Amino acid sequence: MPATITHLFRYPIKSMGGHPLEKSTLTAKGIPGDRAWTLKDEERGGIKGGKRFPQLLDMSARFINEPTEQVVSPEVQIILNDGRSVSSSDPQVNETLSAEVGAPVSLWPLLPADQLEHYLRPPMDEGVDPEAYFREVFARTADEPLPDLSVFPEELFIYESSPGTYFDAFPILLMSQASLRHFEQIMLEQGSGSQFDVRRFRPNILVETEESGFPENNWVGRRGEIGTAIIKVEVECPRCVMTTHGFSDLPKDPKIMRHLVKENSGNLGVYLSIEQPGVIAIGDSIRWLD
């Protein structure tokens, strides 16, 4: 059955709110300008987002000028939780963001992939139990299984993100409207107040399909053409504690993860890689090639 794009999203700064697009080029590194900036934790080290600083989810960012091949991280205007704004070019931007998140941080554009030290994952603090750490990151209780991280590139155990990018894993996250409807129906039947709002899950591509349940799970391993681009569906997306944070008009809700684990092993959406760059737009459908 066809899967048609209904929404496209871009997030200029990792973990901050983004904005919709009508169409976009799709390159080997995803949508130009997506996660073009990030924060680094000047206290604990490493590239960090909403898992460490949930306050970022209450901020948003827009580019002053569109990214180009020469300038992949152009100036952004950041809207803070109280409505004030600060530019990435402001000499006080690091101090402003540090005050907002309550810890010393610095704002960084994308650096070349060969600057490996910038992307290194800091060592785990001495005495920290790895299982307890991952349960906190993925918001899993003691009786819930942790996600199988072996399906992800080995470099992600060395670097916070693939060098040259600020993505958690792969350049594009795709979700279906069917998955969101599945949870809406479950919430209705159970009388639960949990809100499976798309903003919690931060997809790049949202598609509509006549299938029900979690149709994107069945697409893993498949290749498809969207617009003039060719994509490959790599793996399901294991969800983390970020989906439970409160921001804007959405309350903090640990039950989000309980529902995700029960209904879909803690996953929601799928990661894509790009085999052939091209242009995609709202209204384009995936034409499966295998």
Burial of 83 (0-12, 13-18, 19+ CB in 10 A): exposed
What are the Cα distances from residue 44, in Å, to 81, 103, 123? 24, 10, 10
The pLDDT assigned to 169 comes to 93
Q: Report angle CA 4, 212, 268 to the nearest 5 degrees.
A: 80
For the chain, what percent of residues have pLDDT higher than 70?
100
Q: In this predicted model, what pLDDT tens digit does every residue of 9-53 receive, in sequence order?
A: 999 999 999 999 999 999 999 999 999 999 999 999 999 999 999
Which candidate, 110, 31, 26, 108, places its Cα nearest to that of 70? 110
Average pLDDT estimate for 154-174: 95
Q: In this predicted model, what pLDDT tens digit does every residue of 200-222 receive, in sequence order?
A: 999 999 999 999 999 999 999 99
Average pLDDT estimate for 80-101: 97
pTM of the model: 0.96
Which candidate, 69, 43, 55, 42, places its Cα nearest to that of 13? 55
Task: Please report, for the domain that includes residue 95, its CATH number.
Answer: 2.40.33.20
Q: Domain range for residue 153? A: 3-288
Q: In this predicted model, what pLDDT tens digit does every residue of 66-86 receive, in sequence order?
A: 999 999 999 999 999 999 999
- Specify whether the backbone of 105 is left (phi greater than 0), alpha (psi in -120 to 50) or beta: beta
Q: Is 179 helix (H, G, I), strand (E, B) or coil?
A: helix
Strand residue runs (E) in the chain: 3-10, 19-21, 23-26, 37-41, 47-48, 60-63, 76-79, 85-87, 105-109, 172-176, 205-209, 223-226, 229-238, 267-276, 278-281, 286-288
Look up tokens 């307890």; give the residue: 132
The pLDDT assigned to 168 comes to 92
Name the domain count of the chain. 1
Residue 2: pLDDT band by 50, 70, 90 thresholds?
confident
Whether the predicted pLDDT of 161 surpasses 80: yes
